[in-house]
Amino acid sequence: MRVLRSLLCSSAPLLGVFRVRFWDPRVSKRKAWLSLSVQRWCTSEASGLSSDHLSSGSDKYQQLKKHFVRRLKATYHRFHSIPDYSVVCGCHHVYFIKADGIYRIDKRDCTPEPEQVLNLEHASRAERRTRAESEGRVQWTIQRIRLSPHEKHLAATLKCCHTEELKCVVVRLGERNTSILPPHYILLELQSVFSFEWATDDVLFYTTLEGLSSSSVFRLDLASEGSGKVTSVYEETQPDVFVEVALSRDRQILTINCNSRTSSEVMLIDVTKSRLEPFVIRPRQLDLLYHVEHWKGSLLILANTGPGQEYQVMQSPTSEPSTASWASLFVPKPDSAIKDMDVVGDYCLLVLKTPANELALSVMSLRNPKETYIIELPSWACSIETKKPGLADRQDVLEFLLSSPVHPPVPFSLDPEKGLLLSDPGTQTHSESHDKYVTTRLKACSQDGTLVPVTLLHAVPVEDLSQAPLLVHVYGAYGRDLSMEFCPVRRFLLEQGWALAYCHIRGGGERGLSWHRQTRVEGKRRGVEDLQACLQKLFSSGVSSASLTALTACSAGAVPVAALCNWKPNMMRAVTLQAPFLDVLGTMEKADLPLTVEDRDEWGDAVGNPNHRHIIASYCPLHNITPQRYPSMLLTAYSGDPRIPLEGVLKYAKYIKKAIHTHLNRKQNADCESAPSIVLNVQPGANHLGPEDFVQMLEEEAFRLAFLYTELNLDPPQPRRKRKR
């Protein structure tokens, strides 16, 4: 399901291009693939941590970090074989990713042996010849794979491990027993490719990423003479519009999706026809968001034309896609929100968030839309990942993974015609966790009376959590849901007696589009009020206490967290912020920065609108620091991060240290009050997401845990005792 992902596609501070789904400590890199809604990771402290903070130096965490490296390595090893959808099924072969490249096996062989299709060593030779030796070896990780309709060609995007540089490699596929030596070879490389889809065996459409902007669509024609002809298909002129290409599930249409935060324009290409010319479905209109799927000569359109400008499902003939022909098929019930849409056989499948903040599937017959039924999903499920069907996969069955931050992914398949939902019996290894760990959903009443959902994950009854350490997760921006996928580190914390809370504050997308609209520009303070209400709800419910509570956030999620630290610093003991957006006012004043113009719809125009400037200044974390006792903070930033200016993070660390010093010097009993630790961890490189290297990622997570355990005064967890034989 890629519908709402394209609508949310943007180079905003949240956006990244990876989602970790498979870990193997025996391999130096994490297996990953391209995704538009991702959890961001930060680098390790390999380059050294600043010792310039108010308490002791960062070396006080190092011994404990070594302990957590060992514990986390064992935890990742336990989950190294969780299911994922990185395998691609072709007509005759199955393709999969290993550390050194792409391999495939022949489904027709009784005893298939893997053969290598793409060697990463070969793909990086050109870079090693053109780059200075001082830069070191260039390493690439494989992002996403696409097969041409009859498996004639393979295209794969690669990402440089130390930057956000992208490229696409096009491989000519052959048979092992042919005279071609070698049977598979690289035809060409395309630089800066972001999204790409095959229209035919010889025609590839793709978009390029320049900086943080994607505005150009190109067509590669391999049937032409030479190494392939590249022509320009479309060029977007609006600076706040992000462009990508996508293929419908039935592979009948290719769409060019041009989305900003407030409007959409979709162009359609019928790949079944010889003339692959795009035409516009509905011209751009302010505040109209829509996306398109295809079903038997008609378009299914997910558009925010429902009550309250929420999403509903519309239908239109492909031959006449104008707005006048849009007919409503499905409107969700009040307080339910459509999160995604897919077309499976003759059915439209919708992922819903229910009023109880749980996931559900709505199944609607496209032959008779009145035949609609709801499938309730397991109560522990917090995240759903659907499989993009391969060339040989069944088109009338939906395969998907359900998971939560502490529940490993479980494969499910749905036959919508039979109404049959099945789980994979081969995943019983980790099934005990789905009963052992509890998911409790709470609602906190914010200052204006709005009920804010809170997801609480715990291993003991709520009434026994009063002395448990609590880690609170926050985001609340750009209409994006808080990431709730499985994470071995979160599972480890739960096993050590922690409680984990996920606060779905306004600004995210958990409760629909209006949930985001309420905190755009003038309403940003509501997100901070929501976070405060969530903490109060947790404490009043008997969950932990302020002295045992830590908050964690990344990128734009740092705004409500750091703002609350200014308002109510006594509500938490420690904070960890990764690639944090802390100087909202200073950033929005600089129109030359990559995201300032695009982000005005989210934060406001600090230069051209005095009222917006006043509002931003009222909550901006950097500009509201005051002398008082703050919680301990771990700030991880990246020197070349194009999304988060390093200058703002450095200023924030400097100002907050100065404010704490001023506070302590004013107090008569300053000698009796210990100073909080403000640890600034600045890493080299431009990778907003952190390293792909498994060891470095492990060290970063271990250091974060060492910081939390130290600042919350927790005893280190004891290693598991080996069972006696």
Burial class of residue 445 (count of CB atoms within 10 Å of its CB; 0-12, 13-18, 19+): middle
What is the β-pairing status of strands 347-353 and 359-365?
antiparallel
Q: Which helix (H) or strand (E) holds 495?
A: helix 488-495
- Give the N- to C-terminal CA distance of the chain in Å, as an integer: 48
DSSP code of residue 506 = B
Q: Of these residues, 430, 641, 677, 693, which one is catalytic?
A: 641
423: number of Cβ within 10 Å: 14
Q: Taking a C-beta distance cutoff of 8 angstroms, is the pair 348, 330 a contact? A: yes
Q: What is the residue whose two structure tokens read 């900003």?
A: 260
Under DSSP, is residue 281 helix (H, G, I), strand (E, B) or coil?
strand
688 is catalytic: yes
For residue 455 the two structure tokens come to 């997801």
| Measured distance CA(151)–CA(107) in Å, rounded | 13
Mapping DSSP onto H, E and C, the string for 649-711 reads HHHHHHHHHHHHHHHHHHCCCHHHCCCCCEEEEEECCCCCCCCCEHHHHHHHHHHHHHHHHHH
555 is catalytic: yes
| Measured distance CA(484)–CA(503) in Å, rounded | 11
| Measured distance CA(688)–CA(460) in Å, rounded | 36
641 is catalytic: yes
| Measured distance CA(551)–CA(159) in Å, rounded | 31
| Measured distance CA(539)–CA(465) in Å, rounded | 10
Backbone angles phi, psi at 3, to 5 degrees: -65, -65
| Measured distance CA(30)–CA(98) in Å, rounded | 10
What is the β-pairing status of strands 264-270 and 279-282?
antiparallel
| Measured distance CA(55)–CA(123) in Å, rounded | 48
The CA-based angle 8-690-549, given to 5 degrees, is 85
Q: Of these residues, 153, 291, 430, 688, which one is catalytic?
A: 688
591: number of Cβ within 10 Å: 12
Give the helix, strand, coil percentages of the chain, each rounded to 5.
25, 30, 45
For residue 108 the two structure tokens come to 């027709």
For residue 81 the two structure tokens come to 């074989």
For residue 112 the two structure tokens come to 């298939």
Under DSSP, is residue 94 helix (H, G, I), strand (E, B) or coil?
strand
Q: Of these residues, 213, 263, 555, 677, which one is catalytic?
A: 555
The CA-based angle 183-188-190, given to 5 degrees, is 140
- CA nearest to 377, candidates 396, 395, 400: 400
| Measured distance CA(12)–CA(32) in Å, rounded | 21
Rg from Cα positions in the chain: 25
Active site residues: 555, 641, 688
